[in-house]
Amino acid sequence: MAALVSSVSPAALAARLGPRRAWIMNRLSIRGPLLVAVTAAFSAGGGSGEEKRRQLVLYKKPGCCLCDGLEEKLHAALSLAGGPHSLPSVDLQVRDITGNPEWEMLYQYEIPVLAKVLPDGTEETLPRLSPRLTVELIQKKIAAAFEN
């Protein structure tokens, strides 16, 4: 069992797990050396042949019909296969602003808010998408946002 466990610093673990997991570790304020089980999942995640997952964040609140409509269209756009603007490597994270006072203060009058997570873990707010846009146009705009 001792061969499967090693002590790894947060910086080394973050480098090993990639930007998305580094962002999670930073948000959870993990400090000091960590006891980490070295598993196949960790070694598979560090391969150069694997495409990097990109993170898209939707800030919303319950009862917001614009938020629900955008979330539905985003799920459809992310699952729409084929074409020049397909988004197989984008993960959508939906955040309820009512569960976090900071998000509620920032976005209470702006929802739905869409942001992309940058490689350093910070977020860049994307321009507002019209509720009248089709799934295909939303897919195209999201693809363009990740190209820049």
pLDDT at residue 13 is higher than 90: no
Nearest CA-CA partner of 59 in 11, 104, 23: 104
pLDDT at residue 131 is higher than 50: yes
> What is the band of 16 on the pLDDT scale with cuts at 50, 70, 90?
low
The more confidently predicted of residues 65 and 53 is 65
Q: Please tell me the distance from the alpha carbon of residue 90 to that of residue 117, in angstroms, as a whole number.
A: 10
Task: Tell me which of 3.40.30.10, 3.30.70.1050, 3.30.1300.10, 3.40.50.2020 is the CATH number of domain 54-147.
Answer: 3.40.30.10
Q: Please state, in angstroms and as integers, the Cα–Cα distance from residue 32 to each residue in 8, 9, 12, 103, following that order.
A: 9, 6, 11, 28
- Quickly tell me which residue has 């539905």 as its tokens: 72
User: What's the confidence (pLDDT) of residue 15?
Assistant: 52
Question: Is the pTM for the entire model greater than 0.75?
Answer: no
Domain ranges (residues) in the chain: 2-45, 54-147
Nearest CA-CA partner of 134 in 90, 70, 91: 70
pLDDT tens digits along 61-110: 999 999 999 999 999 998 887 777 778 889 999 999 999 999 999 999 99
